[in-house]
Every structure is written in C-alpha cells, then in structure tokens.
Amino acid sequence: MKKEKTTNRLKTTIKIEEFSMLILSIYALFQFSSPWWYFVLMLIGPDISMVGYLAGNIFGALVYNFFHHRAVAILVFLTGLTIGQTELQAAGVILFGHSAMDRMLGFGLKYNQGFKFTHLN
C-alpha cells in the first residue's frame, strides 16, 4: 500500500511538471504573437505522425517518437533562433508543448510493440 501511495504521488508530480511545461509553451507562443490557429496546431499537429503506424509498429513508433521527442523540439527552436526564423521557433514551441500535453494526459513515447505500449505504462 505504501508503494502505491508513493507511485501515485510521483505520477501527480510528473503531471504537474508536464502541465507547467505546457503553460510555458502557451506563454511562449503568446510572446511570438502567434495566430490563434497555432494553438490548435499545438493540440493536434504532431499527432499526424500516427500515420506512420500504417507502415507497421516499428516505423510508426519511430515517426511518432521523433515528433514527440523534446530534444527534437528544442533543436527546432534553437535552429529558428540561430537563423532568425520566428516560424521555426514557434514550431519548436508547438512540438515541446504538445509533448508536455501528451505526457500530462498519460501518453508517452512509443515502444515497437504497438501504439498502446508507452514509456509511461
């Protein structure tokens, strides 16, 4: 029973952390004076990568994880920052925020066994 309480507390802590990163991403988009549809893109855009699963679990997990990996989001943002491309910076923020939102909701990076198998299960 004690282990279960600790696990639940840790899950709650992780959800709060992810929520904080999502709020930071929304704030960053406001700082760019992004159009309203960027926020819609944050909600659903990276999930288009699920189409990769049409080619099988291994390829699907690879494509999905690429678009949900925070290092990729940060690299996209920093590339935009380096070359002065605001749209690329916003794309990095969108990828980062979406990843935080997914993890807050319990969706994680995918294992090769199938879409339901994530690093958060």
pLDDT tens per residue across span 48-64: 999 999 999 999 999 99
Q: What angle do CA 104, 110, 113 make, to 5 degrees?
A: 140
87, 79 Cβ separation under 8 angstroms: no
Element (H, E) at 36: none
Q: What pTM was estimated for this model as a whole?
A: 0.89
3-state SS, residue 118: strand
104 token code pair: 């807050």
Measure the CA–CA gap between 116 and 17, rounded to whole angstroms.
23
**Percentage of the chain modeled with pLDDT above 70:** 98
